[in-house]
Structure 1
Amino acid sequence: MGTAIIYLIVAVIAAAAGYAAGYFIRRTSTEAQFASAEEAAKRILSEAEKEAASKKKEALINAKDEIHALRSEAERELRDRRNEIQRMERRLSQKEESLDGRSSNLDRKERSFSDREKEIARVENELSEIYGKELKLLEQIAGLSAGEARQLLLKRVEDETRHEVAMMIRDIEAKAKDEAEKRARNVVALAIQRCAADHVAETTVSVVPLPSDEMKGRIIGREGRNIRAFENLSGINLIIDDTPGAVILSSFDPVRREIARLALERLIADGRIHPARIEQMYEKARDEVEAHIREVGEQATFDTDIHGLHPELVRVLGRLKYRTSYGQNVLQHSIEVAHLAGIMAAELGADIRLAKRAGLLHDIGKAIDHEVEGPHAVIGAELAKRFHEQAAVVHPIEAHHGEIEPQSVEAVLVQAADAISGARPGARRETLESYVKRLEKLETIAESYRGVEKCYAMQAGRELRIMVKPEDMDDASAALLARDVAKQIESELEYPGQIKVVVIREHRAIEYAK
């Protein structure tokens, strides 16, 4: 136990000694660190002071440079302003000198004008005195006073004026007589043209009955839009006058007139008359007329016992029902020529079927002669050749009016049959043919110009209505077109009265609400 105590004491002493030694060591180390840190702080502070002094010096230098630059800029601006002020002062000084010079010039001119006014006044006084003396001298020489001379002069002027007025009245009367005679001839020609019932009206006019006269207003439409749309679409002149219960359709083209008649009858029956409905009914009527034309052509082939014609030739043949030549229906004329040529061919021992076929087709060119330039015999021959008719048929068609010499018996027979059919009593009237030819020529002239979409001869040839493509022609070009067409008509056609040329340029925008 005593040993343990000794060990305990020794341990305590050792621990105390270790603690003391550690405390001494830590104190010594801390003091050394404090000393080192103090030296580092002094060094950092010294470097900071040096760097601050350097930056201060640099900032002072930069500030001095900036102050110098600003001072130089200010001095330069001040010099510029002083120079500008000096220039302005010099200009003001020059203007003052100029104004002073002008003022002196104005003063001189004013004095000069004053002197001139005085001189003029003096001259006027002298002239007045001279005029008075001369007037008295003239009165003494003439033996007349101023009042008497004035009266004499006035009387002479009055006599001369009366003479000139009489001459003018005579010229005006002569011109009025010439104009009255011209207008009288025009009125008579127009009256004859409108009243030539035996030759024109019966074949160029269709009458459509109305359920009541109230329907006329609906046909015309608000501000005439319905009748204008109908005429522009169909090319027909729609005459609405005091005739009770009827309107009149007038056109030289019977196919066009028939389509318009059917369309108008359908519109009247339907009761809904407006531009869109007019277009619908017109399209339906046109389809029906085309179907009827085809049926008529087929019936003509059955009547003449001719088979194997191209369907297009049959359709063109049916169009001849609505075509007249010298007042004679061309389809009936063609059927008659086919029968005559067949009878003569039978008598002479020639080819009966060939003669009848050529006779039926000999005037087929008249169905499209308003669309193609050239004689209808040549046009018909080209049409037949295009649809594969044999040369023995094409040749009589081309030769039946003497464009070429006939080279076959059938060609001669077709010529003879055509002459017989046209020469029989009551077959033809010259007036209608020339009338239709003139109207067709009007449309041909208009169609020859670029930009023309459709054209119609209206009012028995007294009006030519031309519809142009708005994208190809502006308003100025439309006016020029009307003038050019009128000039060409004057130079190429002979006609009674006058012809009104109307060019219509209409742009229509259409959209559908879906």
Structure 2
Amino acid sequence: MACGGTFVLIKGLDRLRRRDAESEARQIVGTAEQEARTLRRETELELKEKAIQQKAEGERELRKLREELHERERILDKRQDVLEKQAEQLQKQEKIVEGTQRKLTERIQDTNRRQAELSKLLDLQRQTLHELSGLNREEATTRLLTALDGELTRESGAVIMKHERQWAETCEEKSREMLLTSLQRFAAAHTAETTTSTVDIPSDEMKGRIIGREGRNIRAFEKATGVDVIIDDTPGVVIVSGFDMIRREVARLALNKLIADGRIHPSRIEEIVAET
């Protein structure tokens, strides 16, 4: 009985060991499969990341190449424009040169034609003079040249006198303009010196007080003194203008008193002007 119980116990223990071993083996296999799946997933993620990085790098390289190509195309277009402009300039210059050469050729032909006509005319006149006067060839030529020289001298003198007359008229006109300009400038400066007086003010804010609300103060001052008050952008200065030297001086003194007093209003203006 004891041996049988022992055997059964050993069998049970052996079965339990096998079950534990199988369970452990299954657990190991499960763990290994889980690790394998995790490793495969990580590998796939790494491959995807590398693929994304490679794609991004490829796109960057492609974008860089496109930008370089675009820049090269822009440079080529610019060079093409420059070449086209140079070609246009060359065509214009060629046309100008052709036109100049054509005009020069026409002038040369016209000069040659006139020279030939003049030679024929001289020969005809020389022959006619020889036939009419009975002079020989040399005497006829000398007389004809003398006549031509006298005619050219008269024409040259007429042209010179015409130009001299034109120059004289131009000089007279320019002199008249310069004289009028000088008189105007001198008159303007002299008028400004003899018809205006300046009054210094402590600040440009005083200009607004002199003018007053809606211009009441300046109108009252001009009415009381009989002069014009000029207030412009000139800093620190007010101008009193008038042809009457006494009125202008009274206005200058009165304005200085008003500025020093500080009370500038129509009634005070009349009072100060009356006192001055």
Same fold (TM over 0.5): no
Give TM-score scaled by structure 2 length: 0.36
Give TM-score scaled by structure 1 length: 0.21
Q: Higher helix share goes to which structure? A: 2
RCO (CA 8 Å, sep 6+): is it higher in 1 or 2?
A: 2
